[in-house]
Structure 1
Amino acid sequence: MLMNRRTFSSALVAGAAASLIASRGMAAPSAPLKARNVVLVHGLFADGSCWSEVIGRLQAAGLNATSVQNPLTTLPEAVASAERVLARQDGPTVLVGHSFSGMIVTEAGMHPNVSSLVYVAARAPDAGEDYTALAKTFPTPPATAGIVFDGDEGRLSEAAFLRDFAGDLPEAKAKVLYAVQQPFHKALLTGKTTQAAWRSKPSFYAVSTEDRTINPDLERFMAKRMGARTIELKASHLSLISHPQEITRLILEAAGHQA
């Protein structure tokens, strides 16, 4: 069956638009599905309890929230830990990641239960991208110098944790968080994502303007590249603890709820 000129032109325009979306990495559709489930993933130098301030607020809004215990071993094992939790959800689910776990959100976000993605001062690589190489195109943040290794396990020194990771938290609270810091394995940092969920799902990003763990301009670059709905918070890397209300509002928006 031959295609008439008008049909051909329409198809050409549609194809060009699809190509533009793919090349720019803009998420489609732009509006998220309404969701009542939220899965939260922590990054380096933390454990699942770092989401406590946000979880209570999500529960008060009527949402079902689950914090994944990231094993911090290898990227495939970390992704699998999130996917197991996602598989237990009973409908559309917002997948939220902080810091390193943006890698997990980017990969595990392809799970069919995931309706939208939220990045909180998080890595947001493209498929197959070398995140370390990308980060080196921006000034190195101060926290990097504070990483210490015991064999294959890495962690932040107490001084770096208090100053560069949790700089806008009361010292007593930051010390409690330091006490539950989980070490990461060197192998975790070598992983690369094989797919980028932000290319096909609505994405949201919270930039921490006072971040000393990930360069704020790198955060802005990644948020813009994915076409994310973006907010900026005058916060340290731990905006999920110092600004839980704002982070909760962003998650509620990603879930299609009134904040």
Structure 2
Amino acid sequence: MVADAATEGRSLMSTNGREIKNVVIVHGAFADGSGWRGVYDKLTTQGYRVKIVQNPLTSLEEDVAATTRVLDKQDGPTILVGHSWAGTVITEAGVHPNVAGLVYVSALAPDAGETTAQQYEGFGPTPDFVIDVTEDGYGFLNPDTFKAGFAADTSDADAAFLRDSQAPVKMAAFETPVKNAAWRDKPSWAVIASEDRAFDQAMLQHMAKRIGAKITNVSASHALFTTQPGAVADVIVTAAQNAGNAR
């Protein structure tokens, strides 16, 4: 694990003479930005300016555009954070000049020319993570397996709220190749939930190692952004303090 975030947060590392104070967070599929409140609170109390993208989950292009709009409004170097599907989004959007570093939170990390769907090839199934697809091509997580597959370490009440407020994703987005891989030029960190049932653990570790990310393993479900906000915030702080010197 990283060092105590309260200690690290007392000073913010600079990039080219500018402090990294900005953090932009992108939520994944089947969720929205509200689950990041705990991370937001921990970061803002340490002096970070945090913005959370409400991406539409309608296509890779539109999710990247939503992220870019928020990045355009940042006044300097920024740490860009993505969970799950948003790993693909930040991989593409992270080429933005304001992005100093990337944090992948149990997230996908394709290379240029690859699709999200290709990342699953050769890895084990995830039988608790069941996606029901509507006639118009949107995916919802099956309500009967939602807690087991997405949020096993939450209370029944919290899992029910996440289940009933989930945001569907246009499944065709997973077949869209990324044009750019920001992790090839930007330093990356990865937080991996060791009890994640949305992805094969081998897949998560493989993707994080391939991009050269500094890896932190956390005992949590796929909903680690909600259940382990301190651990996730710690890694974001580490990225903010070290992105300028990482490469």
Question: CA 1:211–1:32 in structure 2 vs 1: closer, same or farther (change >3 Å)?
Answer: farther
Which one-letter code corresponds to 1:255 in the other structure?
Answer: A
Identity %: 42
Q: Does the residue aligned with 1:80 lie in a helix, a strand or coil?
A: helix
Q: Which residue of 2 aligns with 1:149?
A: 133
The correspondence of residues 152-171 of structure 1 with structure 2, limited to 5 A, is 152-171=137-156
Q: Which residue of 1 aligns with 2:105?
A: 120
Q: Give RMSD over aligned pairs.
A: 1.4
Q: CA deviation at 1:142?
A: 2.2
Q: CA deviation at 1:186?
A: 2.3
Which one-letter code corresponds to 2:134 in the other structure?
Answer: D
**Which runs of 5 or more residues in structure 2 are unaligned?**
1-12, 243-247
TM-score normalised according to structure 2 size: 0.88
Question: CA 1:32–1:234 in structure 2 vs 1: closer, same or farther (change >3 Å)?
Answer: farther
The correspondence of residues 61-140 of structure 1 with structure 2, limited to 5 A, is 61-140=46-125
Higher helix share: 1
Q: Which residue of 2 aligns with 1:233?
A: 218
Answer whether contact 1:32 1:115 (CA < 8 A) is retained: no
Q: Which residue of 2 aligns with 1:28?
A: none
Answer whether contact 1:32 1:254 (CA < 8 A) is retained: no
Answer whether contact 1:32 1:116 (CA < 8 A) is retained: no
Q: Which moved more, 1:205-214 or 1:134-143?
A: 134-143
Which one-letter code corresponds to 2:157 in the other structure?
Answer: A
Structure 1 runs of 4+ aligned residues shifted over 6 Å read none
Q: Which residue of 1 aligns with 2:199?
A: 214
Is 1:195–2:173 an aligned residue pair? no
Q: CA deviation at 1:32?
A: 8.1
Total equivalences in the alignment? 226
TM-score normalised according to structure 1 size: 0.84
Q: Distance in 1 between matches of 2:107 and 2:59?
A: 17
